[in-house]
Chains A and B, each alone.
Chain A
Amino acid sequence: MIELKELTKIFDTGKAQLTAVDDVNLSIADGEIFGIIGYSGAGKSTLIRILNGLEKPTSGTVDINGQIITAIKGAELRKARQKVSMIFQHFNLLWSRTVKENIEFPLEIAGVPKGQREAKVKELVELVGLAGRENAYPSQLSGGQKQRVGIARALANDPEVLLCDEATSALDPETTDAILDLLVDINKRLGLTIVLITHEMHVIRKICHRVAVMEGGRVVELGDVLEIFQTPKQEITKRFVAQVTETEDSAETIRNLRELYPTGELVKLIFVGEQAEQPILTKLIRSYPVEVNIVQGDISHTQRGAYGTLILLLKGSKEEIADAILFLENENVQTEVMAND
């Protein structure tokens, strides 16, 4: 359990004062994959660095599994850091060491004897899928492989929490997906709590259970990933959600659809969780006299279930269409009539 209470960090830059983190309160459960999303400068980097004591907050406390990280220092803090490890956007591997030696580094720091280190490294190399590359130097690895080394290194001392600092932002989309899959796998297998920061909604959608949206140092929205996708409240959250759904509901697409289908009513349905698996369309067609054209559909999977959007063209009299929409609303499908604009 990670508990952030009234966390504030103010940087004193000589003349001006910059509030990087502004009164943040969060509670992250054990085994959860918790995402923090925000644009650069939102304070998420500072926030994640407070979690392992790389930054000291100006006020407030961080409690990780009963230990007040913000109150300890010196040897005690160094010891605690072995249980709250971190991976980085630019991997931060030692180029002078091989894959094996890089993974061994945190074990050396923890004072693990040589024999045990070797066994642990072997196990970790297998876990992250780098068998056969143990003796390569980082310069000989691809970005994805480097991050795998970073992950193996972070897991070496059996941490309880893994902090991911934009861990996939320097990777191409395919490699990003592979690394995200690995993180989910680790989360399930080792029961590790993962806190990640990112500016990509795709990352949040793919692996997070819950998400906090940060803007100007504050958490402006917090909730289940599905819920955030379904009903984003803040303007910034809507923009982030649009990052991954934009392809289907951008204004231009809608305009094109209107030109293609000048009569009838365009309706966007949003299905969440179990609804996505219900035969709602069948019911609609069987029970109502409207004509239904499927214009566009998309379904994506999050860690908390499926999330789908469907754009339908309903043809019929005004009353018939209104009835059909009422039916959809009664089925608890979020329905949005796409207005002319």
Chain B
Amino acid sequence: MIESLFPNVDWDKMWEATVETIYMTAMSTLLTFIIGLILGIVLFLTSLRQLWANKIVYWLTGIFVNVFRSIPFIILIILLIPFTKFLLDTIRGPNAALPALVIGAAPFYARLVLIAFQEIDKGVVEAARSMGATTWTIIRKVLLPESKPALISGITVTSIALVGYTAMAGVIGAGGLGTLAFLDGFQRTRPDVVLMATILILVIVFIIQWIGDALTRKADKR
């Protein structure tokens, strides 16, 4: 039945591509989370009337975030080819997609982190200061836990965007479902391959959304 609906699908290749997509999404999500969080913290703390209020650092970080958030991803990949080559010595394969994925997504997540922190009641930070907390303690024990639901729902959105980015990265040969759909499906006129790859990408997206929602609900004690 399935064989007749998808006559041209090579299931081993399809599975391999799925694993590559999951790998790229997972690795880039992890790195984006870490780098985006750091950028978000810097943006928040250096903004006006905050603990490290510093116009220059805030301005520079803001420019970096805005520039990389604004470049269309497909162009960013091409621009970053020399950087990727320098970093990994190759521009092919799942790992080669990671620098572009992370540099494209981390600034986006940094903005979401900043918004999450801005939503925290200022009084709570003041209370922590009044108890003699250091800035590090405030980051670790106030900012991060108090914004946890927003941080999780933010990384969920980012992660889903990254699934889309991995498919685009497929065009330059990153591997995964995007490459498969483009090379084996589109260029060889096999619509069933494109359709199957699409279905698998949708499944991945739904699973990420479902996990993200469950974690957000669990973290939210408000």
- Chain A residues within 8 Å of B, Cβ to Cβ: 52, 54, 77-82, 85-86, 88, 90, 92-97, 105-106, 108-110, 137, 139, 153, 157
Contact = CB atoms under 8 A, between A and B. Distances in A.
B142 A82 contact: no
Given A105-B141, A108-B141, A109-B133, A96 B221 contact: yes
B145 interface: yes
B101 to A, nearest CB: 30
B124 A82 contact: no
A79 B145 contact: no
Nearest to B146: A96
B124 A93 contact: yes
A97 B128 CA distance: 13
A105 B132 CA distance: 11
Interface of B: 121, 123-124, 126-134, 137, 141-142, 145-146, 148, 219, 221-222
A136 to B, nearest CB: 10
Nearest to B221: A137
A88 B142 CA distance: 17
Contact of B130 (A85, A96, A110): A85
A52 B129 CA distance: 10
B207 to A, nearest CB: 26
A76 to B, nearest CB: 10
A105 B126 contact: no
A79 B132 contact: yes
Contacts of A93: 124, 127
B130 A109 contact: no
Given A96-B221, A137-B221, A110 B146 contact: no
B130 A52 contact: yes
Contacts of A92: 121, 123-124, 126-127
17 contacts: A54-B129, A54-B130, A78-B133, A79-B132, A86-B127, A86-B130, A88-B123, A93-B124, A94-B145, A95-B146, A96-B146, A96-B148, A97-B145, A109-B128, A109-B137, A153-B131, A157-B131
Given A54-B126, A77-B132, A88-B127, 4 more contacts: A92-B121, A94-B146, A95-B222, A139-B222
A207 B132 CA distance: 28
Nearest to A79: B132
A9 to B, nearest CB: 16
Contacts of A109: 128, 131-133, 137
Contacts of A96: 145-146, 148, 219, 221
Given A79-B132, A81-B131, A85-B131, A94 B137 contact: no
B125 to A, nearest CB: 9
B151 to A, nearest CB: 12
A139 B132 contact: no
Contacts of B148: 96
Given A79-B132, A81-B132, A95 B127 contact: no
B5 to A, nearest CB: 49
